[in-house]
Structure 1
């Protein structure tokens, strides 16, 4: 029995026993969107890094040299964030789970970080608990390796 929301499964004598969502065709995102969000996040993080150095990146909009002051901060944090998200992405791919590329979320001039982070969209069911654990843990573990390396360097 369906009602547009999905398929209802009924058991013997007990009525409703579960709900299965109606499969939706996966919408492919455009790679240009991911690149644009990455570049915007890079610039907003460079602005945040330059503000932490005491430089006002808005002081001379014609001079992008002010953003260069934030490069060490932005490159380090963006490397950690990128590796973290791709850890999730590659673990999902290894388990046969469809996932999007990371969507980076810029937050210019409001946050001392310059970003809200990044997310990936899981586009197919996760097959079991082990896959869920692997996909969930891959991001923090891979990001941790980059963070420790950044602290040493």
Structure 2
């Protein structure tokens, strides 16, 4: 480490930190000494000055615990170089959604794909629809993150198998949120952008001609998975005068509509008001620390929902019971880890509070008690 004096706003530390030594470790700046106030008060005092100088500051301790260390790391101004990991996951997810879409939603036989792998390209509208709504959601976070100067990554798409070929997408946020306003703006931008794309995709899908189900599929017997319509999907269909099902068993809705269903389903999950989910960020910004009281109830509500469907409705694990039970466990884990805590706790203005209420209301229109069912044919 270089002990040369770093060019940073050291004067910001004077009233809250007894400084003994300063070092430069690569791009990081390390200030050794003793904190004179609590961790929260120290960061609240020094964070604005360091941020203006282009650094993200946080308080740590040495391994021996004998000294406090203010660590200042440069804030990223965007992707550096080619984002190979993001691109690799994008390509993998495009391929997985093309394959799953062609086999599951376009009824392309596996034998045909084995003979001609390019047959999966028939599912390109499905891939565009699904990845379009997921990418719009994450890009909403990304754009508002960059607007507020928060270090956020480009979206990481996650390839998977049945039924959609993907598990969704995520972004990484590094550093601390400066205030509740920033936390809210970044949190709400994803659901709103995703819902806008979802509505467009749903309208397009409903307007397309239905798909013809091959005779070999109609002749099969057993069980099929049914994806029930969220209220928002039915409202859109009614508004544009298009059906969401057909009396002729040889006709089915166009697979592009599945992109809209995926967008609505992931909106519901992301708006759960716990931890680092979008709903958790939004409610933390709207209610302050009272959000944790709400977050503690969410896992219980999800477990209760799973129990009701199983014992009250007689549904099995594969008919949404397992879905809500899994999210109950997941919500427990992320609620335990807690939400993002902004440095400035100034309450939100009324306009943002209203936007938050409207966003949660739109999310409620995407909720289904039983989104997935298994029906014998």
Establish whether residue 35 from structure 1 lines up as the match of residue 87 from structure 2.
Answer: yes
C-alpha deviation, 1:40, in angstroms? 0.9
Q: Distance in 2 between matches of 1:7 and 1:86?
A: 40
Establish whether residue 69 from structure 1 lines up as the match of residue 90 from structure 2.
Answer: no
Q: Per the alignment, do residues 95 and 55 of structure 1 end up closer, same or farther by CA in structure 2, a change over 3 Å counting?
A: same
Establish whether residue 100 from structure 1 lines up as the match of residue 121 from structure 2.
Answer: no
C-alpha deviation, 1:102, in angstroms? 0.8
Q: Distance in 2 between matches of 1:92 and 1:18?
A: 25
Gaps of 5+ in 1: 12-16
Q: Distance in 1 between matches of 2:34 and 2:181?
A: 27
Q: Per the alignment, do residues 58 and 39 of structure 1 end up closer, same or farther by CA in structure 2, a change over 3 Å counting?
A: farther
Asked if structure 2 preserves the Cα contact closer than 8 Å seen for 1:57 and 1:67, the reply is no
Q: Per the alignment, do residues 50 and 121 of structure 1 end up closer, same or farther by CA in structure 2, a change over 3 Å counting?
A: same
Number of equivalent positions: 143
Question: Which has the larger share of helix?
Answer: 2
Asked if structure 2 preserves the Cα contact closer than 8 Å seen for 1:105 and 1:118, the reply is yes
Asked if structure 1 preserves the Cα contact closer than 8 Å seen for 2:97 and 2:165, the reply is yes
Report the 3-state secondary structure (helix = DSSP H, G, I; strand = E; otherwise coil) of the residue aligned with 1:60.
helix
C-alpha deviation, 1:145, in angstroms? 0.6
Over 3 Å off, 4+ runs: 6-11, 21-30, 56-62
Q: Distance in 1 between matches of 2:96 and 2:126?
A: 11
Q: Aligned match of 1:129 in 173, 176, 180?
A: 180
Establish whether residue 112 from structure 1 lines up as the match of residue 163 from structure 2.
Answer: yes
Report the 3-state secondary structure (helix = DSSP H, G, I; strand = E; otherwise coil) of the residue aligned with 1:126.
coil
Gaps of 5+ in 2: 1-17, 19-31, 41-58, 61-70, 205-377
Establish whether residue 51 from structure 1 lines up as the match of residue 103 from structure 2.
Answer: yes
Q: Per the alignment, do residues 98 and 58 of structure 1 end up closer, same or farther by CA in structure 2, a change over 3 Å counting?
A: farther
**TM-score normalised by L of structure 1:** 0.78
Asked if structure 2 preserves the Cα contact closer than 8 Å seen for 1:56 and 1:66, the reply is no
